């Protein structure tokens, strides 16, 4: 049996250890905020946090999760997460929305590790998250706005 934490709650899995984490979160836990895009770790739509770092849950097998802490979009609860979500709304970042759960997860991980990212820091952190609606300029602006609002609170 594989035991780990999902959004602060202890969970376990007795099934196929090769099943992707994304299936567990969406189909077993009914948390559908995380999206399936490419299925091969190339688009970022399925991004979650594993011990605070972004991972592609479509390509992360259940077998590596024992004792780890997983966060999906539903479990975000931190000052950087609130700042990112507020900036996303203020700047109306979203277009179709399909990629945005993954975008937000990568942006929150970035801001949690680097509270004042440069444009190149943002581009490097976000390069694995594809947006077919090309919201990249608004994403970058929203990350800067979130960083500014965090700095004002500090």
Using the rule CB under 6 A, is 70 a contact of ligand FES? no
For residue 136, state whether it binds ligand FES (rule: CB under 6 A): no
CB atoms under 10 Å from CB of 40, counted, come to 9
- Of 39, 112, 115, 144, which one interacts with ligand FES (CB under 6 A)? 39
Element (H, E) at 21: helix 21-23
Number of residues that this document lists for the chain: 154
Question: Does 31 help bind ligand FES (rule: CB under 6 A)?
Answer: no
**Per rule CB under 6 A, is residue 34 in the interface with ligand FES?**
no
Output the smallest distance, CB 63 to ligand FES, in A.
Answer: 17
3-state secondary structure of 33: coil
Closest C-alpha among 72, 154, 140, 138 to residue 110 = 140
Return residues touching ligand FES (CB under 6 A): 36-39, 41-46, 56, 58, 94-100, 131-133, 135
């Amino acid at each position: 049996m594989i035991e780990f934490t999902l959004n602060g709650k202890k969970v376990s899995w007795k099934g196929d250890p090769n099943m992707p984490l994304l299936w567990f979160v969406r189909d077993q836990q009914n948390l559908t905020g995380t999206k399936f895009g490419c299925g091969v770790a190339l688009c970022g739509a399925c991004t979650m946090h594993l011990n605070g770092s972004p991972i592609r849950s479509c390509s992360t097998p259940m077998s590596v999760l024992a004792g780890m802490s997983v966060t999906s979009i539903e479990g975000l609860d931190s000052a950087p997460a609130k700042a990112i979500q507020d900036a996303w709304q203020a700047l109306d970042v979203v277009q179709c929305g399909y990629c945005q759960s993954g975008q937000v997860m990568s942006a929150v991980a970035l801001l949690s590790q680097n509270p004042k990212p440069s444009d190149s820091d943002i581009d490097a952190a976000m390069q694995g998250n594809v947006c077919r609606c090309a919201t990249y300029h608004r994403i970058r602006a929203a990350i800067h706005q979130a960083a500014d609002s965090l700095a004002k609170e500090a």
